[in-house]
Amino acid sequence: MDDAGRIRASITILPADPNVKMPDGTTGYPETVLLRLINSQGRPTVKIAATERGAGQVLGGESDPTYVQILADGPSTSVRLSNKDGRVHVVKP
């Protein structure tokens, strides 16, 4: 917490959910450990997650939807870039 009493960092363990449909079409979300670093406006600008399937990191810009996402999920990896104007570029090997 900062001097004003606002939460600025958190570590959360999210339980597995076998009923969630994933973006790749599979079903089931594994238990996840999530670290959030939050700016003075209450926006989480750094997120780092770890699961049995892999890990991911999101670095947020000054406003939505500006971010960089790095993902290693199972056998797949990707980098997603999103600008303030909503343009998205995805890099996959």
pLDDT of residue 51: 95
Residues pairing with 48 in the sheet: 35, 57
What does the pLDDT profile of the chain (93 residues) look like in tens digits? 999 999 999 999 999 999 888 777 778 889 999 999 999 989 999 999 999 999 999 999 988 899 999 999 989 999 999 999 989 999 999
Distance CA 65, CA 45 (A): 11
Name the residue ranges covered by the structural domains of the chain.
9-91
β 67-73/76-82 pair status: antiparallel
**What does pTM read for this prediction?**
0.86
